[in-house]
Amino acid sequence: MPFIEHVSDADLERLTLERVVPALQDFGFCYVDGVLGEVAGGAVLQQVIDAPGRGAAGRPAGRLCSRGAPEQYPRDKIAWVSGVDCGCEAINFLLNTIDKMISSSDLFWALSQGFRNQHTLQEGRNCTMMMMMMMMKMMAMVACYPGNGAGYVKHVDNPNSDGRCITCIYYLNKDWSAKEHGGVLRIFPEGTSFVADIEPLFDRLLFFWSDRRNPHEVQPSFNTRYAITVWYFDSEERAEAKRRFKNLTDPSLKQSS
């Protein structure tokens, strides 16, 4: 399925530099509307809706409170997609667009790493290429909240240094009314007295730091709610997390320690 890119790479870079980077620096999160446009965004939505027949978005994720909190909400459904499968061309277009926004500007990576590690901006610029080589992403998670009050309790995506650096969520919900349908993603920025309510509106792309700076929850949804989430990792932190896990689970390593 061919798509005509309505925004040039230069426009994406400018958008990242002028809006996403400053907002991440100042507030820890940022959202952008009208990312793909009606046609391409609608194609992504249709592929997500059609996905259950192929297994995507059709596998119960289990209870949403499975992280140890009391069960409060009904089930959602999730699937992991790479975008390269047949019938996922529009999803692949979306993922490529997010990739371009994340990697289009060396300043973005310099600032993101500098902000995480409290480096100066100049220090970030000096090691930009090395940092870009250190970043990676995982497959996209397609989530469907079926509208029966499903939500997600307050949590942090990366509470224990598992490598996740930036969370990106693309919303696919046309004619959404938070007052009527709920489903708001509420962020509790660390060290502040305010909350940020992000409505899951069609063609909206949200970025936020994945670590303890941004506890968040999905409030109960009373209409079918679709979202696609991608996490970008710091590869060194991810490798260290895998080493820790192996040390905990490998019997031979336990005996030798």
What pLDDT does 250 receive? Answer: 60
Whole-angstrom Cα distance, residue 187 to residue 14?
Answer: 26
pLDDT digits (tens, 9 = 90+) for 111-132: 555 555 544 444 443 444 344 4
Token pair belonging to 14: 């400018």
Residue 6's pLDDT is: 64
- Tell me how many degrees the CA angle 37-207-52 measures, rounded to the nearest 5: 60
User: Residues in the chain with pLDDT < 70?
Assistant: 1-6, 51-75, 104-136, 249-257
pLDDT of residue 122: 40
Question: What pLDDT is attached to residue 215?
Answer: 97
C-alpha distances in angstroms, 251 versus 176, 241, 248?
Answer: 51, 18, 8
The reply to whether CATH 3.20.20.70 applies to domain 9-65+76-114+130-251 is no
Q: Supply the pLDDT for residue 129.
A: 38
With H, G, I as helix, E, B as strand and everything else as coil, classify residue 127: coil
Q: Kindly list the domain boundaries of the chain, sorted by start residue.
A: 9-65+76-114+130-251
